[in-house]
Amino acid sequence: MARIQIDKDSTRKDVILKAAAQLFTEKGYKAASMRDLAEKVGVEAASLYNHIKSKTELLHDICFNVATRYMEQMNAVEAATQPALEKVEVLLRFHIHEMLENHEEVTVSDREWKHLNEPYLSNYHNLRRTYRKRFAAIIQEGVDKNELQQIDAPTAVIIILHAVSGIDSWHRAKQKISAEDLENNMVTILLQGLNLKK
């Protein structure tokens, strides 16, 4: 019987999670089956259950792994003593890197989280809302200190996060600029609208 191939830095569950994120991105969580996943990792469907309990568990782990990375980054940014614009840039570059390096996981966490079961669904929804509020609070502090433009902070967060989610199109494009150029272009365009000193 075939075994799940791993490298020295990953476990079999890591491999399954990565494959699940790819599959959920391609087909959507609802349409993807455990048989599809087994085929993707090269094993019989029954052997997947030696490493995971269910498809629901995979979605839970993908979503909350992404949420944990986001919250850890937010904690670090909030604790830093730097101007608001620099904090926003750190968060923006973090989000861009996540979409470039962990594209499938982030896409699944952003699009498929509504399929989580309770109480995880409500928990995850609250985490998303709290994260956006904390991001907006950083921008609002910059506005209040006259470091940033007089703009609506929650709206700015929505625009930033939606722009970053658009990197999905970059992944699918046949002709595209480099990841480094993409990041720098996005940072320039998005921060320019916040910066008081143009």
Which of the pair, 5 or 76, is modelled with greater confidence? 76
CA dist 17 and 22 (Å) reads 9
Task: Say yes or no: 74 and 37 in one domain.
Answer: no
Tell me, yes or no, whether 160 lies in a domain.
yes
CB 20 within 8 A of CB 58: yes
Task: Say yes or no: 132 and 177 in one domain.
Answer: yes
Domain residues for the domain of 109 are 55-192
Residue 32 has pLDDT above 70, yes or no: yes
In the chain, the number of structural domains is 2
Task: Say yes or no: 26 and 75 in one domain.
Answer: no
Check whether the bond before 83 is cis (ω within 30° of 0): no
CA atoms within 13 A on the CB side of 41: 31
CA dist 94 and 80 (Å) reads 15
CB 74 within 8 A of CB 131: yes
Task: Say yes or no: 43 and 128 in one domain.
Answer: no
Q: Which residues contact 139 (CB under 8 A, 6 or more apart)?
A: 84, 88, 148, 151, 153, 156, 157, 194
Average pLDDT of the chain to the nearest whole number? 91
Tell me, yes or no, whether 41 lies in a domain.
yes
Tell me, yes or no, whether 80 lies in a domain.
yes
Q: What are the pLDDT digits (tens) for 166-183?
A: 999 999 898 899 999 999
What pLDDT was estimated at residue 193? 81
Task: Say yes or no: 28 and 78 in one domain.
Answer: no
For the residues 144-173, what does the mean pLDDT come to?
94
What pLDDT was estimated at residue 1? 41
What pLDDT was estimated at residue 7? 57
Q: What angle do CA 53, 10, 1 make, to 5 degrees?
A: 60
CB 170 within 8 A of CB 176: yes
What pLDDT was estimated at residue 163? 96
Tell me, yes or no, whether 84 lies in a domain.
yes
Q: What are phi and psi of 195, to 5 degrees?
A: -70, 130
For the residues 49-57, what does the mean pLDDT come to?
85
Give the predicted TM-score (pTM) of the model. Answer: 0.89
Tell me, yes or no, whether 128 lies in a domain.
yes
Percentage of the chain surpassing pLDDT 70?
92
Task: Say yes or no: 32 and 61 in one domain.
Answer: no
Q: What are the pLDDT digits (tens) for 18-28?
A: 999 999 999 99
What pLDDT was estimated at residue 85? 95
What pLDDT was estimated at residue 198? 53
What pLDDT was estimated at residue 3? 53
Tell me, yes or no, whether 118 lies in a domain.
yes
> Is the sign of the CA dihedral 101, 107, 110, 114 positive or negative?
negative
Residue 2 has pLDDT above 90, yes or no: no
Cα distances (Å, whole numbers) of residue 195 to 132, 141, 142, 147: 20, 13, 10, 7
Q: What are the pLDDT digits (tens) for 104-125?
A: 999 999 999 999 999 999 999 9
What pLDDT was estimated at residue 194? 84
Cα distances (Å, whole numbers) of residue 68 to 8, 32, 145, 187: 23, 25, 30, 24
Cα distances (Å, whole numbers) of residue 24 to 57, 78, 102, 160: 13, 32, 14, 24
